Amino acid sequence: METYRTPDERFAGLESFPWPPSYADVPDQDGGTLRMAWVEAGPSDGPVALLLHGEPTWSYLYRHVIRVLVDAGVRVVAPDLVGFGRSDKPLATTDHSFARHVEWVRSLVLDELDLHDITLVGQDWGGLIGLRLVAEHPDRFAAVVAANTGLPTGDFDMPEIWWQFRRAVESAPSLDIGRFVEAGCLHGLAEADRLAYDAPYPVEEAKAGPRVMPTLVPTRPDDPATEANRAAWEVLTGWEKPFLTPFSDGDPITGAMAPILRKLVPGAAALEHPTIEGAGHFLQEDAGEELGRVVAAFMGR
């Protein structure tokens, strides 16, 4: 597996993201290893929140959430998915699959970090991957916060706006990562934040992860990930631990998933599910502190 490792100097000067990275090698499932990065903050003996980002962001997305959770005494672990942020980036799109991304995160979180009693906070692909982990290793998770995410099986079509996004990513000669993130925010991005999202990718060929991820979402019943996602749903429809769905009010891509999750997951039934108002798909950017307060209150209930 041929990979790219972003030079450290690309991440210099991120004043709003002061936490130093940690690194571990995980099996690449091709006979070698990949280096995965994560940031950790808060008390080492605090309750654990696992913050999983999606496409095409990295753990920088959670900087506002992290501050609120740390002030609440939460131990925060925020990895960068393989192909994103400070983690290694396989250069071939064929090196990426839904199953591999689940296994890469599992190797880091459960094997290397050996986390237990985890509260998952997953948005976008962070929910797709995280919900699979919850379903496949339910004993390691205490609760779930699913925000602007879901777990497609390919049995129902994705919304047209998602197909527009997928086509735009597939066809763009040069993938403008910062612009794509900004398009998912209702309040835009500061120039420094756009540069932070561009930082992991000084060369175009390193963007194989962001470019291929939309194609890995199951869109037909015979997708390679469909069987495993259906199996995950069988577990989730019996999940009675707390399951919170603080979706934003301005995300046309995932908004329809909120009532489905609340209806089908038993652990969601007895909870009040807040709506994060004035926020788009990347609600961590538009309303990160509010989301942090919601998660902190949920974990301290």
Is residue 251 annotated as a catalytic residue, yes or no? yes
Say which of 80, 95, 193, 251 is annotated catalytic: 251
From CA 251, how far away is CA 284, in angstroms rounded? 12
**Identity of residue 290:** E
Question: How distant, in Å, are the alpha carbons of 128, 163, 165, 167, 170 from that of 160?
Answer: 19, 5, 9, 11, 15
Say which of 80, 88, 124, 193 is annotated catalytic: 124
> Percent helix, strand, coil in the chain (nearest 5)?
45, 15, 40
From CA 215, how far away is CA 124, in angstroms rounded? 14
From CA 289, how far away is CA 275, in angstroms rounded? 14
Tokens of residue 56, six digits: 């095409």
Is residue 124 annotated as a catalytic residue, yes or no? yes
Concatenating the DSSP letter of every residue in 202-263 gives: SSGGGGHHHHHHHHHS--STT-TTHHHHHHHHHHHTT--S-EE---BSS-TTTTTHHHHHHH
DSSP bridge partners of 141: 118
CA gyration radius, the chain = 18
Say which of 88, 96, 281, 286 is annotated catalytic: 281
- What is the sign, positive or negative, of the torsion defined by CA atoms of 156, 162, 166, 168? positive
Tokens of residue 111, six digits: 């094997």
Taking Cα atoms as reference points, which of 122, 136, 141 lies closest to residue 241?
141
Tokens of residue 128, six digits: 């797709």
Is residue 53 annotated as a catalytic residue, yes or no? no
From CA 124, how far away is CA 52, in angstroms rounded? 9
Instruction: Report the catalytic residues.
Output: 124, 251, 281
